[in-house]
Amino acid sequence: MNDLIRKNDEILLELKNVKKYYDISNSFLKNKSYLKAVDDISLRVRKGETIGIVGESGCGKSTLGNLIMQMLPLTEGQILFEGEDMSNLSANQLRKKRLDFQMIFQDPFSSLNPRMKVLDIIAEPLRTYRIAKGEELENKVYSLMDLVGLNKSQAYRYPHEFSGGQRQRIGIARALALNPKLIVCDEPISALDVSIQAQILNLLSNLQKKLGLTYIFIGHGIPAVKYISDRIAVMYMGKIVEIADKNEIVKNPKHPYTEALLSAIPVPDPKLRGNKKQTVIEGDVPNPVNPPSGCRFHTRCLYAEEKCKREEPQMKRLHSYHQFACHYPINHQGGKEFENGTA
């Protein structure tokens, strides 16, 4: 586990106090209000690692992915890719930079153009960036198809002729076409059948080993995210509430929300039925326009106290590879103080 904290680790991507607010003010009634989709997130992603991002729907995990992909402008903060601030780049410079980060989408049925052949879909980024043409282009596409486990003979077919899993493979080949360094995977397996999910997860992790890729893996199925990730970040209402090594976070969650998320996962073993400790949280995610004061989770938290309503908890450090934002972390009620720090 200690290999996660090496000093000379190369940082590929760094998020500094990233915020994305949507202005939903009503100009007629003259009241200002914002929807804070992503609120003050700091995160460092090392080269070659996979960070899993989990949370309920509406927690801002997909928005975060889109911000990293530079598909949305930031409200505040910085995103540094290889040490370079992306928001300072001109459109032209950004276009060149985009070679290095690509995305895999959730729905393989709507993310592929139904009127393009597989060959053209995978070749499109290569053509746009004028990387290859003619026979060279074709060969490149064939080798990409081979890499993701598709047959060369399928190159002239249309997306509708493929199953969900194969379509996701096409999407992966397209993302790999430009030799990216970072791939943001936005729920890439949630639209797939159970038996196909494992194939795609294995493919992604093999590709990572082969090509030295860095992944941001957004998902809501924690077991699958845990399988592929090195570290897991838990988001709640636009904030990261806990981030740690994947085994650490499962065995020793510190934030009550993480504990609740973990205990809500149905365990595929009927013998554990009933005697499993279940901390079911009641209610739904509060309205993000009007987030609760203090700790945003206090309205649903089983351990909330007076302080939680008043004060917003800062990120605290358990080890350098385990951080959380909670006043009364689990098993540490009233215990020792933690160092402040960010992921």
Partner 1 sequence: MSKLLQINNLKTVFYTEEGQVPSVDNVSLDIKKGETVAIVGESGSGKSVTALSILGLVPSPGRVVTGEILYEGKDLLKMTDKEIKKIRGNEISMIFQEPLSALNPVLTVGKQIQESIELHQKKKGKRAKEKVIQLLNRVGIPRPEKVYYSYPHTLSGGMRQRVMIAMALSCRPKLIIADEPTTALDVTTQAQILNLMKSLSEEEGTTILIITHDLGVVAEMADRVVVMYAGQVVEQSTVYDLFEKPEHPYTKGLLDCTPKIHGESEELLAIEGTVPTIQNRPTGCKFHPRCKFTHEKCKEKDPELFTIKEKQKVRCYLHEKVIEERLK
Site for partner 1 in 137-166 (CB under 8 A): 163, 165-166
Q: Min. distance of Cβ 95 from partner 1 in angstroms?
A: 37
Site for partner 1 in 55-74 (CB under 8 A): 56-57
Contact 230, 49 (CB under 8 A): yes
Burial class (CB in 10 A: 0-12, 13-18, 19+), 337: exposed
Q: Contact with partner 1 (CB under 8 A): which of 136, 193, 306, 339?
A: 193
Q: Min. distance of Cβ 56 from partner 1 in angstroms?
A: 4
Q: Contact with partner 1 (CB under 8 A): which of 13, 38, 201, 207?
A: 201
Token code pair at residue 64: 């975060």
Is 273 one of the binding residues for partner 1 (CB under 8 A)?
Answer: yes
Is 268 one of the binding residues for partner 1 (CB under 8 A)?
Answer: yes
Helix-helix angle 118-128:164-176, to 10 degrees: 20
- Which of these segments, 120-128, 255-263, 304-312, 328-336, binds partner 1 (CB under 8 A)? 255-263
Q: Contact with partner 1 (CB under 8 A): which of 17, 25, 128, 247?
A: 247
Q: How far from the centroid of its chain's Cα atoms is residue 142's Cα?
A: 29
Is 262 one of the binding residues for partner 1 (CB under 8 A)?
Answer: yes
Is 202 one of the binding residues for partner 1 (CB under 8 A)?
Answer: yes
Which residue, 45 or 150, has its beta carbon nearer to partner 1?
150
Q: How many CA atoms lie within 13 A of 157 on its CB side?
A: 14
The C-alpha atoms of residue 291 and residue 286 are separated, in whole angstroms, by: 7
Q: Contact with partner 1 (CB under 8 A): which of 63, 197, 214, 299?
A: 197
- Which of these segments, 12-20, 45-53, 111-119, 270-278, binds partner 1 (CB under 8 A)? 270-278
| Residues in CB range of 118: below 8 A, 6 or more apart | 145, 150, 154, 155, 156, 157, 158, 159, 162, 170
Mapping DSSP to helix (H, G, I), strand (E, B) and coil, where does residue 126 land? helix
Token code pair at residue 227: 């399988």
Token code pair at residue 137: 């282009």
For CA atoms 324, 330, 331, 333, the dihedral sign is: positive
Q: Contact with partner 1 (CB under 8 A): which of 89, 99, 196, 330?
A: 196
First to last CA, the chain: 16
Q: Contact with partner 1 (CB under 8 A): which of 8, 27, 92, 195?
A: 195
Mapping DSSP to helix (H, G, I), strand (E, B) and coil, where does residue 92 land? helix
Mapping DSSP to helix (H, G, I), strand (E, B) and coil, where does residue 277 land? coil
Q: Contact with partner 1 (CB under 8 A): which of 70, 78, 208, 263?
A: 263
Is 107 one of the binding residues for partner 1 (CB under 8 A)?
Answer: no
Which residue, 165 or 294, has its beta carbon nearer to partner 1?
165
Interface residues with partner 1 (CB under 8 A) are 56-57, 163, 165-166, 193-199, 201-202, 220-224, 226-227, 247, 250, 260-273, 278, 280-285
